[in-house]
Structure 1
Amino acid sequence: MSEAAIAEHGIIGDLQTAALVSTDGSIDWFCCPRFDSPSVFGALLDDARGGHFRVRPDGGAWSAEQMYHPDSAVLVTRFSTPDGVGEVVDFMPVLDGSASARHRIVRMLRCVRGRTTFVVDVAPRFDYGRSEHRTELTEHGAVFRTDPLTLTLHIVREPGDRPLATVAVEEGDLSARISLEAGDLRGLVLESASDGPPREVPLSEIRALFDDTVGFWQRWLGRSTYTGRWREIVHRSAMTLKLMTYAPSGGLVAAPTASLPEQIGGERNWDYRYTWVRDASFSVGTLLALGFVDEAARFGSWLGDRIREQVGGAGGPLNIMYRVDGSSDLEEEVVEHWSGHRGSRPVHVGNGAADQLQLDIYGEALDSIHAADRAGLVLPHRGWMAVRRVLDWVAENWDQPEEGIWETRGGRHSFTYGRLMCWVALDRGIRLAAAHGRPAPLERWTAERDRIYEQVMDQGFDAERGAFVQHYGSRVLDAALLRMPRVGFVSPTDPMWLSTLDAMDAELVTDSLVYRYDPAASPDGLRGDEGTFSLCSFARVDALARAGRLDAARMAFEKMLTYANHLGLYSEEIAPTGEQIGNFPQAFTHLALIDAAVTLDAMLDGARPPWS
């Protein structure tokens, strides 16, 4: 049996980890106890050996639909069968900031009409399928044990309810059949860090957990200040970002998945379950634009902790990414025994790009700090002194080759985007110092900022092509540069910028979809191709809107909305077939969607776009 398509999944989570649930009722991905922990269910990367937790109707004559309970992260999968209609309601009760809290996946099984028999298969594969487990079956459930992690399965029913028709354990995997009549409600709870044996969970307890979980999400979303044209998709994107937040630290993972391919059958398969300085920085301004000040402050605090630590590595005072708790051990390895999603190998866990030199992260970090400052989240003295040390390093080190934003494995170059964002870092530092009278070597920072500007204009623009290019000495276009007008480096109507936008439209854009760059023209050290990058597609909408090309911007945005999955979720890329590929759901894509919507709303209303 082949892995379910990437887009055929919804996400549930408890703000410390997440699970992906397919449209046929299978939990195909779940890591415990954190996003970046080894997997328990990994069928998304190997249906035969990855492990799963499946609940689906008995027999094959059924169809399924998925939806979220309104304004929440509670997922409903509804099955229509010849005998009736049943549904599985999946959610994870939201945890507080304690990293030692127990994690629970609640699966409520309901017969809506007629009769429904559900087949349950619980087949964990701990530590990416590398650790054997022991299964203990009891009257009220089962325990799955390994040395580092134990999971307990509790049965949900009231005393006197009909027992399960059959329960069996074979080679450590549990199977069961649950037969329901119209109006019946049963369920299963998979729990980590359980204090005792499996227990019979009363329906009242599950209903209370359901109400609490729905209430949490609806209260959280009620804080949004967004009232624009695309409220439903913007709010779904905001909740998706919240689901990818690790509450104990405030870190945002790039995606909750690992090694989903950028080309089916290809080798561009990376682990995204970590917090990138870049992604976390982007999220600050995005969430502030929606009124989520507390979340922006938490992400800003996570970033501030990394800046104050000042440990860094070969790439400077900051690493480009960290684990969700702020540690930096991301050694990359290959899970040799897994076949990969639809044969896409190798399967990577850990990320070897962590030690790359990517100069753009300093601009994104300082831009987010500046945005937070404008929203009233002012840096304390120690924070400013740490920022000052980072900016002193940028002023000394900006003019050197680097790996660039896309984490290619093709060597270092003088990337134009990296230079651009070093300009942003120094510019925002100068503004912060001036606004608050903070001590800073402003004369030096200003001189280096202006040197960067002049260098980019002189060496980053190819006059023959009429476009800013990927790196000095290159003629390759790079969609990362779509952010140039947004950060204020060029006017959105500057002729040099408009000709760059036209060149990108001619070479990188296919309908509304945008490629990052042309791998054939810019060897990146990897075999194969990739899809269009949805972050860039939404960034183009932002750039078009700022350039006054509102009809084109709105059409591109509306077309991009058609590439969302059935729940409004996006992976990293879109394949030539229109299929979603890459890690899923991807924070960067949802951040860019929100930014594009907010900018386009403002421009259509005749207002000034944000952060201009």
Structure 2
Amino acid sequence: MQNSIDLGLIGNGAIGALIDEQAEIVWCCMPRLDADPVFCSLLKEHTDQDGYGYCTVELVEQISIEQQYLPNTAVLVTRMTDAGGGVIEIIDFAPRFRQFGRMFTPVMLIRQIRRLQGSPRIRLVVRPAGDYGRERCPITYGSHHIRYTSPTWTLRLTTDASITMLLEELPFFLDDNVTLIFGADETIPSSIGDLARRFQDETVAYWHEWVRDLGIPFEWQDEVIRAAITLKLNTYDDTGAIIAAMTTSIPEAANTVRNWDYRFCWLRDSYFVVNALNRLGATKTMERYLAYLANISASAPGGRLQPVYAIDGKARLEEQLVTTLPGYRGMGPVRRGNQAFEQIQHDVYGSAILAVTHIFFDRRLLRCGDTALFQRLEPLGETALQVYDQPDAGLWELRGSARVHTFSSVMCWAACDRLALIANQLNLQDRATYWRTKADQMYTVIYSRAWNEEKQAFTASFEGDSMDASLLLLHDVGFLSAEDPCFASTVTAIEKELKRGDYVYRYVEADDFGKPENAFIVCTFWYIHALAALGRMDEARSLFENLLKKRNRLGLLAEHIDPRTGEQWGNFVQTYSMVGLINSAIRLSKRWDSAF
């Protein structure tokens, strides 16, 4: 069977796993989101004889299968039926609930297999991999556990299934229920089945309570709830970081080397993520993420930020090629780390400060911004002031060229603009005047150098003539009002040059790897936002409904989409795309008080 990203995501804020429609765990990094993948068959083809890096449940003579989430949870249920009428149910989840006054998020996956009817016969295949698929893990075992040892971590499977049947991968009749608990090399001192059932009940209750506290729109509620849960699963609880995606090296299009490791935290995402969390009312998640951003921003050497950081805040993400994995559908190379950390990307100053601005104005947060934090942010503003008219790699991280990107310049302006607002909020009038003066000066330069009179539009770079989808955000970040004719005409120019059918490309000119083949999903969401701002609501709603239909069968989105086939490409599940869905739904939905 050909690999696909028609997958389900489970997790708990410490780890995450991707599960395909046959209930195979195809991707899972342990002991944290950016670690060595113990299950990695998503990036390699396996055969029954010699494959490893996956975990599956096979129903003998299976004839049908269906899969869905338990409503408003991150608990995935797969139901299989065999030719004789036997039915089994597989429940997959990672425990997450409050215990002993704190959130319990162990490095643990639980897989429960239940007989629902008939005499089903199953085979359990558990084959973890070590060192990025280099080897099948050596095994030791006891009466109720199997220990898989990799060079970096030891995975322990605790189970009430027959150890012999597991080790020899023999079929057996499922008389009742079987539980598999994957986690750290620690003994589980209680009944395995009872523990799994209790953890499931507690986890379901946690997710129901979490969803109940969300502020959601009247329309598209199920879609927004699934996107919000997914955003939560892409959060690394220990530090508050939110990764761009669970995976590495899923290519942006077929047979291209555009494939990167996305298991890190990009500052470019922060503004959009914080806005989505704020609109949802997910204040605890937002507060943890803001603390992560504030720590990075305050400790930036010389006020210099890089585009991307590890989930623990570390700066160096040396990119290496992984030769032991052939890649998604054999489309390598596979990478670990991301050399984008070395790039010069000036929009990060605006992204960071726009996000952190919430700390100074949102009264729901436990710790509000103060003068000390403002003073730690000012060096970032000074850097933005120095670099706003200098060449960089831009939002899309071009690796082989640099120019003065309009969006980067606008985000530098936004950094200074927000510092003026923060200073005013803190009654620091001298600093407010200083930053307002600087922002106004920058605004004048950007407006004159980025505007193309012939095109009647702002262009991708100063004195340039090409278009970039990031210009759709000029209204969002406050650079242009929706009533400004320059905004409407810029949107028109983007429609003319970047829109292909129902999708908007980030750009269409050739870059370091040729011309982009597929559409970057979030750009279409940005276009929807621009249409809504311009009052073109019918068009916006139609495009939004179309994008919703392109989600996979479990409601999830990757990074790119092929406009011709509708197939999704790129790393999965993509934070940017799910945030775009949330923000669009909130903008377009009928109001609760006018819906009836």
Counterpart Cα distance in 1 of 2:371 and 2:486: 40
**Other-structure match for 2:173:** 179
Structure 1's 58 and 416: CA in aligned 2 closer, same or farther, altered over 3 A?
same
Q: State the one-letter code of the partner of 1:62.
A: I
Q: State the one-letter code of the partner of 2:79.
A: R
1:495 and 2:485 are equivalent in the alignment: yes
SS of 1:585's partner is coil
Counterpart Cα distance in 1 of 2:590 and 2:475: 16
**Other-structure match for 1:592:** 580
528-537 vs 284-293, which moves further? 528-537
Q: How much has 1:480 moved relative to structure 2?
A: 1.1
Identity in percent: 33
Structure 1's 118 and 53: CA in aligned 2 closer, same or farther, altered over 3 A?
same
Q: State the one-letter code of the partner of 2:20.
A: S
Counterpart Cα distance in 2 of 1:135 and 1:99: 32
Q: After TM superposition, list the pairs within 5 Å mapping 1:162-561 onto structure 2.
A: 166-169=165-168, 175-181=169-175, 184-192=176-184, 194-196=185-187, 201-311=191-301, 317-376=304-363, 377=365, 378-438=368-428, 441-518=431-508, 521=509, 523-527=510-514, 529-561=516-548
Q: State the one-letter code of the partner of 1:458.
A: S
Q: How much has 1:58 moved relative to structure 2?
A: 2.1
Structure 1's 348 and 292: CA in aligned 2 closer, same or farther, altered over 3 A?
same
Q: State the one-letter code of the partner of 1:185.
A: N
Unaligned runs of 5+ in 1: 158-162, 170-174, 608-612
Per-residue CA deviations over 1:366-391 (Å, capped at 9, x if unaligned) read 22222343322431232111111211
35-44 vs 523-532, which moves further? 523-532
Counterpart Cα distance in 1 of 2:592 and 2:255: 42
Counterpart Cα distance in 2 of 1:164 and 1:143: 11
Q: How much has 1:199 moved relative to structure 2?
A: 7.8
1:35 and 2:33 are equivalent in the alignment: yes
Q: How much has 1:215 moved relative to structure 2?
A: 1.1
TM-score by length of 2: 0.93
**Other-structure match for 2:112:** 108
**Other-structure match for 1:92:** 94
Q: State the one-letter code of the partner of 1:179.
A: F
Q: State the one-letter code of the partner of 1:122.
A: V
**Other-structure match for 2:565:** 577
Q: State the one-letter code of the partner of 2:117.
A: R
Counterpart Cα distance in 1 of 2:438 and 2:396: 25
Counterpart Cα distance in 2 of 1:478 and 1:178: 58
TM-score by length of 1: 0.90
Unaligned runs of 5+ in 2: none
**Other-structure match for 2:72:** 71
Q: How much has 1:254 moved relative to structure 2?
A: 0.6
405-414 vs 490-499, which moves further? 490-499
8 Å CA contact 1:336, 1:347 repeated in 2: yes
Q: How much has 1:510 moved relative to structure 2?
A: 2.6
8 Å CA contact 1:460, 1:469 repeated in 2: yes
8 Å CA contact 1:165, 1:177 repeated in 2: no
8 Å CA contact 1:94, 1:213 repeated in 2: yes
Per-residue CA deviations over 1:445-499 (Å, capped at 9, x if unaligned) read 3333223222222221222222221112332211111111112211223222112
Counterpart Cα distance in 2 of 1:534 and 1:406: 14
Q: State the one-letter code of the partner of 1:249.
A: T
**Other-structure match for 1:610:** none
8 Å CA contact 2:40, 2:129 repeated in 1: yes
Q: How much has 1:528 moved relative to structure 2?
A: 5.9
SS of 2:42's partner is coil
Structure 1's 80 and 506: CA in aligned 2 closer, same or farther, altered over 3 A?
farther
8 Å CA contact 2:129, 2:150 repeated in 1: no
Matched residue count: 584
Counterpart Cα distance in 1 of 2:446 and 2:594: 32
Counterpart Cα distance in 2 of 1:90 and 1:267: 33
Q: How much has 1:558 moved relative to structure 2?
A: 0.7
Structure 1's 323 and 486: CA in aligned 2 closer, same or farther, altered over 3 A?
same
**Other-structure match for 2:4:** 5
Counterpart Cα distance in 2 of 1:264 and 1:210: 39
Structure 1's 203 and 371: CA in aligned 2 closer, same or farther, altered over 3 A?
same
The one of 529, 551, 562 equivalent to 2:549 is: 562
Structure 1's 276 and 580: CA in aligned 2 closer, same or farther, altered over 3 A?
same
Counterpart Cα distance in 2 of 1:498 and 1:65: 46
8 Å CA contact 2:124, 2:166 repeated in 1: no
8 Å CA contact 1:39, 1:125 repeated in 2: yes
Q: State the one-letter code of the partner of 1:399.
A: D
**Other-structure match for 1:21:** 19
Counterpart Cα distance in 1 of 2:255 and 2:290: 38
Q: How much has 1:178 moved relative to structure 2?
A: 4.1
Per-residue CA deviations over 1:536-576 (Å, capped at 9, x if unaligned) read 11111111011000100110111110011111100001123
Structure 1's 98 and 149: CA in aligned 2 closer, same or farther, altered over 3 A?
farther
8 Å CA contact 1:117, 1:180 repeated in 2: yes
Per-residue CA deviations over 1:276-301 (Å, capped at 9, x if unaligned) read 11223322221111111111111111
8 Å CA contact 1:31, 1:40 repeated in 2: yes
Q: State the one-letter code of the partner of 1:508.
A: L
**Other-structure match for 1:126:** 130
Q: After TM superposition, list the pairs within 5 Å mapping 1:134-145 onto structure 2.
A: 134-145=138-149
Structure 1's 125 and 100: CA in aligned 2 closer, same or farther, altered over 3 A?
farther
Structure 1's 131 and 440: CA in aligned 2 closer, same or farther, altered over 3 A?
farther
441-450 vs 21-30, which moves further? 441-450
**Other-structure match for 2:160:** 156
Q: How much has 1:578 moved relative to structure 2?
A: 0.7
SS of 1:12's partner is strand
Structure 1's 369 and 166: CA in aligned 2 closer, same or farther, altered over 3 A?
closer
SS of 2:148's partner is strand
Counterpart Cα distance in 2 of 1:483 and 1:50: 45
